[in-house]
Structures are given as C-alpha cells and as structure tokens.
Amino acid sequence: MPKGKGNAIAQNKKASHDYFIEETIEAGIVLNGTEIKSIRKGKVQLKDSYIQIRNGEAWVSNMHVSPYEQGNIFNHDPIRTRKLLLHKNQIRQLNYDIKREGYTIVPLKMYIKDGYAKLLIGLGKGKKNYDKRQDLKKKDAKRDVDRAMRERNR
C-alpha cells in the first residue's frame, strides 16, 4: 500500500465487507473550484461510489463532496462524476481485470498527500453471502477474545 495513507479523510468500510480486495492503486483526482476545501474539512463520502472505465479514462461516480460553505456561486455539484489520474498502463490493466467475472474497482480511502487529494482504489472480487457470514463470525470471536483479555487484566 502507498505511503502517506495514514491520514484518511474518508474511508469506504463497506468495500471490505462486500469485496475481497486483491490489489490497491493510488490515484489522483481532478477537482473543481472549492471541492478541495470541502475535502480538507472532511466533507466527503465514499459509501456508494464506484469506478468506471470509459474511453480509456477512469472515472469515479457517486462520490459525494459537500458544497463549501463560503463557496457561494463557485460551488459544484456534490455528486458529479470526477476523473481519476492514472497511467495508461494502469487503466489498461484495470480494464482487463474487470472483464473477468465478479471483479470490480472500488474506492477504498481518500487522503491528502503532499497537498494533493489522493484516492486509494482497489480491485475487488465480490463476496458471497456465506463469505460475509464467516467474516462476521471472525469479527465476533475477536471481539469476545478482546473482551475476555480486558476482563482478565483488571
């Protein structure tokens, strides 16, 4: 995973629940006007967003960036489609990968790196319902173990 992703502004927690993430890529994002100010304030949501490849370009759709309060007429459409900045070879490889059955590209995390907004995207394979149940059982078991350890240390 890329360096500098520790200061996450927004995370898509649902992505790890719904997909097995096999590969991650750091992508830049094209923003208009006051969008970067809203992102720096943490007013971004990746929950239902997804990534498409059209005409050899990667686009993120349904990502909600709230309008900036002091933006007046310069504000933007909150859920407009935004272009991702990737190398041609990366886009070509991602396009090839999503042609396989069950694979998709999902945004995982948004963060600021060297003053620029970056989006961590992942190539994910959809989980079946029984996979999700197994993950929930593991999570519950870990929670029970942690609780028991805390009680024991008191």
pTM: 0.79
Query: How many angstroms separate the CA atoms of 103 and 86, rounded?
Result: 19
- Each as own residue / partner, the long-range contacts of residues 50-57 (CB below 8 Å, 24 or more positions apart, any chain) are 50/104, 50/105, 50/106, 50/107, 51/84, 51/104, 51/105, 51/106, 51/107, 51/121, 53/91, 53/94, 53/95, 53/98, 53/105, 56/88, 56/91, 56/92, 57/83, 57/84, 57/91
pLDDT, tens only, 73-98? 777 788 899 999 999 999 999 999 99
pLDDT in tens, 88-143: 999 999 999 999 888 999 999 999 999 899 999 999 998 888 788 888 888 889 99
Identify whether the C-beta of residue 13 lies closer than 8 Å to the C-beta of residue 45: no
